[in-house]
Amino acid sequence: MLNFDEERFLRIQSGALVLAQRLDHVIGTCLAAGAQNVFFLGTGGAAILMQPAAQLLQRNSRFPAFIDLTAELFISSSVNLTAKSVVVMPSLSGTTKESVALLSKLKEIGATVLTLVGHQETPLGKGGDHVFVNFAEDDTSCESFYLQSLIIALSIMKHRGEISNYDGILGELATLPRLLLEVKRAFEGKAEAYARALAASDYHIIIGAGNVWPEAFYYGMCILEEMQWIRTRPVHASDFFHGTLELVDKEVSVILFKGEDAYRPLAERVQNFVPNYTQKLTVLDTADFALPGISAEVRALISPVLLATVLERISAHLEVLRNHPLTTRRYYKRVAY
């Protein structure tokens, strides 16, 4: 595979799953001590990657789950953010400015903070009440963060008696790293064609629903915009028909992500409409990827993980086609802001 280290990928995704036992223990301890809610409080891309786990709890658990913007909470806080809150704070670098600033405020409030970081010797790597370290880099962090946050959400439901098959799900997830590697291998032959479709336009409408909507948002903002300087308009499939559809014409590129959860019909509605007005529709459907031994229930939970793993292959080809390395920046962490 182009510019890809297979062993590093396996090590990182397996590392995320190795954290499951300790994550589950910490969550159980917090709930036993009287925790009343959970906040997922990342910044930028890391925050977006927490959304599927937050949504899973919001739709399937009576334990209150919130997702908010760290920069806004630092200014105004929230009446729900208290000493009885569990805060999950992801940051690959462990140095994200807004998250580090909020950490001090969280300590004053007395909330229990779980930090998910790629590096121990950092402010967030040292500052959390419970620190979970799994080294990753930009091309491997999505799957790692998705899996860690999914485990946290499932653990909350397990300890509350809201699911009975936690161990079975974790057993299936344990096989995932090598399965994802096989997905990458099988997709490699198509990755360049998808990359060419992305390189052919300087503006894309990117659409998703359910737990793959955050991946549409993330890929548009953090990869195409930040790392490739390509303009995008991420829009949820349910919102597409309330404004954004008017921008579709024969020259407009539409990228549709389809997952396997209950909200798949919202994506199918877009897929049925768009080809009538543009020939530039690109569809990535997680149902196309083989995952032997993974149940339909778990496939639905990991749809964003699957998308992240094939999108990495597309990005690897895209940076070569455009002669624009994914590490190139003009402003991000290069100038004062």
> What percent of the chain is modeled with pLDDT above 90?
98
Which pLDDT score, from 0 to 100, does residue 321 have?
97
Whether residue 213 lies inside any domain: the answer is yes
Q: Are residues 164 and 212 in the same domain?
A: no
Q: Is 331 helix (H, G, I), strand (E, B) or coil?
A: coil
Residue range 218-236, pLDDT digits in tens: 999 999 999 999 999 999 9
Q: Are residues 18 and 154 in the same domain?
A: yes
Q: Are residues 141 and 221 in the same domain?
A: no
> What percent of the chain is modeled with pLDDT above 70?
100
Q: Are residues 155 and 192 in the same domain?
A: no
Q: Are residues 224 and 102 in the same domain?
A: no
Q: At 306, which CATH number? A: 3.40.50.10490
Which pLDDT score, from 0 to 100, does residue 33 have?
98
Structurally, the chain folds into a number of domains equal to 2
Helix or strand holding residue 56 (H, E): helix 51-60
Q: Are residues 193 and 119 in the same domain?
A: no
Q: Are residues 301 and 199 in the same domain?
A: yes
Q: Name the residue range of residue 124's domain.
A: 6-173
Which pLDDT score, from 0 to 100, does residue 239 have?
98
Q: Are residues 82 and 197 in the same domain?
A: no
Which pLDDT score, from 0 to 100, does residue 100 have?
97
Whether residue 326 lies inside any domain: the answer is no
Whether residue 218 lies inside any domain: the answer is yes
Q: Which residue has the tokens 């052919």?
A: 200
For residue 337, pLDDT beyond 90:
no
Are 211 and 304 contacting, i.e. CB atoms less than 8 angstroms apart? Answer: yes
Helix, strand, coil percentages for the chain (3-state, nearest 5):
55, 15, 30
- β-strands 37-40, 130-133: how paired? unpaired
For residue 42, pLDDT beyond 90:
yes
Distance CA 337, CA 335 (A): 6
Q: Are residues 153 and 211 in the same domain?
A: no
Q: Are residues 169 and 205 in the same domain?
A: no
User: Mind spelling out the 3-state secondary structure of 6-40?
Assistant: HHHHHHHHHHHHHCHHHHHHHHHHHHHCCCCEEEE
Mean pLDDT over 234-244 rounds to 98
Which pLDDT score, from 0 to 100, does residue 61 have?
98
Mean pLDDT over 124-136 rounds to 97
Residue range 185-231, pLDDT digits in tens: 999 999 999 999 999 999 999 999 999 999 999 999 999 999 999 99
